Amino acid sequence: MSDITPFGLTLLVDKPLTWTSFDVVNKLRYTVKELTGKKKNKVGHAGTLDPLATGLLIICIGSHTKKIEGLQGLPKAYTGTIKLGATTPSYDLELPIDQTYPIPECDHNLMQKVANSFVGTIEQIPPAFSAKKIAGKKAYELARKGRNVDLNPSLIKISEFKITTENYPEINFEVKCSKGTYIRSLAHDFGIKLNTGAHLTSLRRTQIGLYSVTNAHTVELAIDHIREEYANYLKHK
């Protein structure tokens, strides 16, 4: 066997800012490799996060990687910040501002009404700077070469979209949504409906199904936990 089956483990990890989801998986896979002495070990995550996002990653190891497909379909919850008055090509802070717009007067009731208009099953166009495939190539690879990226809309579900405007023109929000939702696109589209520009300035995933980031480990503590669980596995196998 190439993995460490029958040993299996599901971990909740709080992804650090600027790390890719693969960075986390790779770090934990290296730990598993040290423990097992095997070159190939099954380690995966149940839903990616952008490098500029933090929060909950579900990591599955060994026999628990069979759970990944089911976990990927669970609804998700996020908190974050949208800034009005400007757009970026990536819809977040990965790329610099490309256009500025007049900022509408702060009207919390109007803002919440616009947010409510997204609640339900809607069509959403993914960002050009995303991992969506076009003719076998990732969209962001084409976008970074300056090519036009024409992505088809996806059906998603927004269950809840709450906003606060204390730091206007920055808007803090809470979103509950289905698999496949791009919060960057939600921020961009929110700006369009307000007749201004908008981009995402921070994002944190707080929940996947019933799994909460409040129960998640740092990467360092996740490594310690893997070592402890593997030691227990060796004692009882």
Is the pLDDT score of 2 beyond 60? Answer: no
Catalytic residue check, 50: yes
- Pair (116, 142) in one structural domain: yes
pLDDT at 134: 66
Question: How does pLDDT run across 136-190, given as a tens digit for each residue?
Answer: 666 666 666 666 666 778 999 999 999 999 999 999 999 999 999 999 999 999 9
pTM of the model: 0.91
Please give the residue range of the domain that contains residue 39: 8-73+211-236
List the CATH number of the domain containing 132: 3.30.2350.10
The span from the CA of 76 to the CA of 168, in Å, is: 26
Assess if residue 1 is contained within a domain: no
Catalytic: which of 50, 107, 150, 224? 50
Q: How far apart are CA 9 and CA 31, in angstroms?
A: 13
The SS3 assignment for 235 reads helix
Residues 89 and 187 both lie in one domain: yes
Distance separating alpha carbons of residues 120 and 235, to the nearest angstrom: 50
